[in-house]
Structure 1
């Protein structure tokens, strides 16, 4: 799958960056000279299952369960924001301080990174590359900008799955989990803008109940394979 990736390309757009250094293959030079994006095999299994959607909709829990059921690596993002109630190191994110994040960014270690309201987030390129080489497909959880980055690089072999709940269910869920009120308000303010982007994604699922949503995801990707 790597032959159709460009060897080196960096993009900077509204604080979001993509770095493909080290992800290229034998056709990298050819692609750069022609200026054309190589086409992926649309019949092949997705290289990257990109879980995106509205904040607080249960994306990371779904990604973890899907990873277990399909036997695919789930690549966690690195972040500089603080842990929230119920979050654990290595399960939800890889928590690092701003200095560590900046040092990694300067060394071009991130495939994709973005700065959001409460912190910075990034997918480490070497972890992505290693997992793809070993398993052929991976699962990531990113925001809209991250999902667009994966789509630009992987084309048809990146399948974006938009997960959302109703605004009312989101508030009830977060209050039940005792999420701080300022974070609940932040999610409520972001909700409409985030849900509006669902039309960009290949798969859209409302997460009414966890087990039901996992089963629908399994049906989707087992069929695709």
Structure 2
């Protein structure tokens, strides 16, 4: 049976990665697809753990070769999901989760309409501003650019199936997990998963 494709998007500073990592710890059957990016690694980031870091030329070569499931320019750098990271796992029946932006989500939904999409919101603009500043990695000009980009990102939340407000972290983790569990219980999947059971239950005596 084909696996589920989950897409999680959020503006920078909404806590998406922390939420996803917490959910994956209690949902080990879901594979996180590691994106490719042409930007340099930030402090604490590791190649093949947080991203596959490649040069702009390498990324463009991969685009030309049709190797990406989706890709977009984010904050001036390329970011994308390789086909090899998604399609074989779905075909093998494994659930896959993509952490991508709204542009990537739109590309994926065009190819896989049944993908389940989740958007994460911060509890307020003040909280978003505070979270960005706590990183201590960016200048004021960069922070303002990221805040503007976050507003643009949030304007596309209507494209998503589910919206989670990340105010109480533990509650948000449980809400995301509930979405994943409920998605696996959709009728079409359950009828395929339990075909013999349903056939037996409905059989004439």
For the aligned pair, the TM-score class normalised by the smaller chain equals 0.7 to 0.9
Structure 2 CA distance for partners of 1:159 and 1:139, relative to 1, 3 Å? same
Residue 62 of structure 1 aligns with which residue?
A: 19
Q: Distance in 1 between matches of 2:129 and 2:157?
A: 20
**Residue 120 (structure 1) shift:** 0.3
Larger Rg: 2
Residue 112 of structure 1 aligns with which residue?
A: 70
**2:84 matches 1:100:** no
Taking structure 1 as the reference length, the TM-score comes to: 0.73
**Residue 110 (structure 1) shift:** 0.8
SS in 2 for 1:84: coil
The partner residue of 2:158 within 176, 199, 204 is 199
Greater relative contact order, per chain length (Cα 8 Å cut-off, separation 6+)? 2
The answer as to whether partners of 2:31 and 2:94 remain within 8 angstroms in 1 is no
Q: Distance in 2 between matches of 1:109 and 1:74?
A: 18
- Give the ranges of 4+ consecutive aligned residues of structure 1 lying more than 4 Å apart after TM superposition: none
**2:193 matches 1:219:** no
Q: Deviations over 1:85-142 (max 9, x none)?
A: 3333223211111121122122211111112333001110012112213343210011
SS in 2 for 1:73: strand
Q: Distance in 2 between matches of 1:179 and 1:135?
A: 40
Query: 1:16-27, aligned counterparts within 5 Å?
Result: none
For structure 2, which runs of at least 5 residues remain unmatched after alignment?
185-205
Aligned residues between the structures = 181
The answer as to whether partners of 1:159 and 1:202 remain within 8 angstroms in 2 is yes
Taking structure 2 as the reference length, the TM-score comes to: 0.80
Q: Distance in 1 between matches of 2:83 and 2:22?
A: 23
Q: Distance in 2 between matches of 1:111 and 1:86?
A: 27
Q: Distance in 2 between matches of 1:96 and 1:147?
A: 22
